[in-house]
Chain A
Amino acid sequence: MHGKTSWINATSLTLGFAFFYLPLLILVVFSFNDGRLVTVWTGFSLRWYAEVLQNDEMLEAAWNTVRIAALSSTMAVILGSFAAITLVRMGRFWGRTLFAGMIFAPLVMPVVITGLSLLLLFVALDIQRGFWTIVIAHTTFNLALSAVVIASRLVSFDRSLEEAAYDLGASSFATFTQVTLPIISPAVVSAWLLSFTYSMDDLVIAAFTAGPGSTTLPMKLYSSVRLGVSPEINALSTILISVVALGICIAAYVDFRRDKNT
């Protein structure tokens, strides 16, 4: 039904995507610059990549972040599936409104509040801040994120598929593992990926809940960025952008293959 792209739509799309991509493009191009200034091109070089990869502090922070992200998103996806099933399937129970609110609120709550409140909790309970407190903090946020992603898939789930499985003699467990799980698994996977990305990216909550020796990559990045532009940050950024781009391409390809098969 939707007709041709008019000039106004073409213009807004072109300008819109240029706005989104030009800054990143400039960033990537100047990561290959030989000079120290990131605004004047002096020649092609990979030296800043070499420097980033030899920066032990940076590498340690990156490794920390990956571990925190993987742990917290795995825990979040498990707990988030429980929460999603509770929200969509369990009907009414005492405290449901409160529960729905607690799942929804962290997603829109400014992170400065979430971060501060978690820090004060850890202080009050006298918990030593460090690696595990960040994991707990991220799991809390990612739990909410995963629950919403999985719940939206469960809502559109055709319940007659489960009824058909029961009808054909499957047990509740078999129905869950052989019918329900395979159908919601794309949502579980995207929930995990979203959580992982969020965790890799978070500065504020991590800054509040981190302790000595548990610096994450965004915290490291933040302290360098505050000092101004530098080609090392460009190189590091380019690496991170490539990882995200690669991830999206793989996800899109998998999605495309699945669409073709069904």
Chain B
Amino acid sequence: MNLRWLRRLFIAIPFFWMLLFFLVPFAFVLKISLSDAARARPPFTPQLGLEDGWSGLIDRLRQFDLESYVWISGDSLYVTSILNSLKIASVSTLLCLVFGYFVAYGMVRAPRRWRTPMLLALILPFWTSFLIRIYAWIGILKNEGFLNNLLLGLGVIDEPLIIMNTTTAVYIGIVYSYSTLMIFPLYASLERMDGTLLEAAEDLGCSRLSAFWQITFPLSLPGILAGCFLVFIPAMGEFVIPDILGGTQTVMIGKTMWIEFFSNRDWPVASALAILLLLILIGPILLFQRHHERHLGKI
């Protein structure tokens, strides 16, 4: 009897916490996205509540419309920011994959005693404040920054490269901040691989390079997939990096949302953007969860 209650309590507390503070809020986002903007505080009209009874509720529901969504689809800024986010997130996921694969592979192939120090060395920058990591690149990339000073000093270029406040700077920032999320699952899947498989392939007449493509690469696919999800999903909604490194010309959905919300105080449009972002990401998130359960639960 006692244990059953304990069991229910164990399930109930975190369950209702997440229900209240994670799932239910989405209902409010959806609701606000269907409301009209207003110069008020909070800056939107209908407040959904039961204070007017059911008839009042239905009345209010009639006032809901897709105005924010129509607004979004009609304004090229929003369409551009969604498409741009998709492009930037995809390209930087690919960049992270290529860069991360080299590092993870190098780590697995390094002498065993180096592995723990190298993992710790990866964690240090990763645990360092996100803002600081992005901030560090401003000094390097800006027109009179270290990179330009170095290249000018070496005579490689005649006038400073303009990297800061461009999409290139955003790519650099995303690769710098997120590639660790790619390296960890890649490292885990490569490290788990049985080394004798490569010997067996070689024994059966395979060259080193072809053994990599036929054995190592396919066996690291779960890690590749996990890493891509881990980079792509947050990169899609990234705000800080395009805001600080991307300047005004780089529009991404997360940044546009932030501006709509904090600067323009258009909560319905911000909410509608959040819903759109969520719709884009719900597929990848569900796929990732299934992938995660399949591969982490078993192996």
B128 close to A (CB within 8 Å)? yes
Secondary structure at the A interface, as helix, strand, loop or mixed, is helix
Interface residue range, chain A: 35 or more
Contact status B135-A27, CB under 8 Å:
yes
Known: A21-B125, A137-B21. A201 touches B130 (CB 8 A): yes
* Complex: A112 Cα to B241 Cα, angstroms: 13
Contact status A105-B149, CB under 8 Å:
no
Contact status B127-A248, CB under 8 Å:
yes
B52 close to A (CB within 8 Å)? no
Contact status B22-A13, CB under 8 Å:
no
Known: A105-B285, A112-B258. A27 touches B22 (CB 8 A): no
Contact status A110-B237, CB under 8 Å:
yes
* Complex: A114 Cα to B18 Cα, angstroms: 12
**Total CB contacts across the A-B interface at under 8 A:** 246
Chain B binder among A49-57, A83-91, A159-167, A177-185: A83-91
Partner of A27, one of B136, B199, B238, B293: B136
Partner of A225, one of B199, B234, B244: B244
Q: Which residue of A lies closest to B286 (CB)?
A: A101
Contact status B229-A222, CB under 8 Å:
no
* Complex: A227 Cα to B285 Cα, angstroms: 35
Known: A16-B103, A82-B10, A229-B139. A218 touches B129 (CB 8 A): yes
How near does chain B come to A114, taking the closest CB pair, in angstroms? Answer: 8
Residues of A within 8 A of B11 (CB): 82, 86, 90, 93, 99
Residues of B within 8 A of A13 (CB): 103, 106-107, 110, 118
Partner of B285, one of A86, A108, A136, A140: A108
Q: Count chain A CB atoms within 10 A of each CB in B102, B128, B137 and give the residue with the most.
A: B128
A123 close to B (CB within 8 Å)? yes
How near does chain A come to B66, taking the closest CB pair, in angstroms? Answer: 18
Partner of B139, one of A17, A26, A124, A248: A26
